């Protein structure tokens, strides 16, 4: 995605789409790209609203601005009789999710594959990123597949630092007020459950 944005002409429009509801593969990827571009040239890449004339009857849900990050823990990996094993009820599945408020807490818990950009942007960043302009399509709305779509417009040039990541731009490790966020109508963990209207994400 970074390489594609690098070669995109100024004024060009790029679509980023997935067939997953996981915000770490959706909004987190978009917010990471926006943050990197913003650090080099504010406003060089922006999220576009869905064009009103394109599939006006398509039911879309707004993108998320916050979400939870988790990994899974297998009961078989716990030592028999340990404190963690004692907390596991007999009715629970053999695998359960562990929610992490930040990269630091995830690393401390043994989530070695975590990176800071998996966590949502700060409230200040989320405001200018306008992640609600992303679109989430849910199968039960119109008997379709499930998709995530983000339309990104390149408005200015940026140097090789963007592709190499030399700018050092990254998202802060946002603090979560709860270990396990509530599920939203968008089918994921987060707080933005506003349903996009036709032609207006």
| Residues with active-site annotation | 19
Give the span between the Cα atoms of 169 and 31, in whole angstroms. 11
**Cβ-based neighbours of 165, under 8 Å, separated by 6 or more:** 36
Asked if 201 contacts 186 with a C-beta cutoff of 8 angstroms, the reply is: no
The pair of structure tokens assigned to 95 is 């695998």
């Amino acid at each position: 995605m970074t390489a594609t944005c690098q070669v995109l002409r100024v004024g060009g429009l790029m679509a980023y789409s997935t067939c997953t509801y996981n915000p770490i593969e959706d909004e987190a990827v978009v917010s990471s790209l926006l943050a990197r571009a913003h650090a080099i040239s504010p406003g060089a890449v922006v999220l576009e609203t869905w064009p009103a004339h394109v599939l006006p009857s398509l039911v879309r849900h707004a993108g998320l601005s916050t979400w939870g990050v988790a990994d899974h823990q297998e009961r078989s990996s716990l030592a028999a009789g340990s404190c963690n094993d004692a907390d596991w009820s007999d009715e629970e599945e053999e695998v359960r999710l562990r929610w992490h408020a930040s990269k630091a807490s995830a690393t401390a818990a043994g989530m070695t594959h975590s990176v800071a950009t998996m966590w949502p942007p700060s409230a200040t960043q989320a405001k200018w990123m306008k992640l609600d302009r992303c679109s989430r399509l849910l199968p039960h709305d119109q008997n379709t597949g499930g998709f995530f779509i983000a339309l990104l417009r390149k408005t200015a040039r940026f140097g090789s630092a963007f592709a190499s990541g030399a700018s050092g731009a990254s998202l802060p490790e946002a603090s979560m007020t709860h270990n396990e966020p509530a599920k939203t109508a968008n089918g994921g963990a987060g707080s933005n459950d506003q349903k996009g209207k036709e032609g207006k994400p």
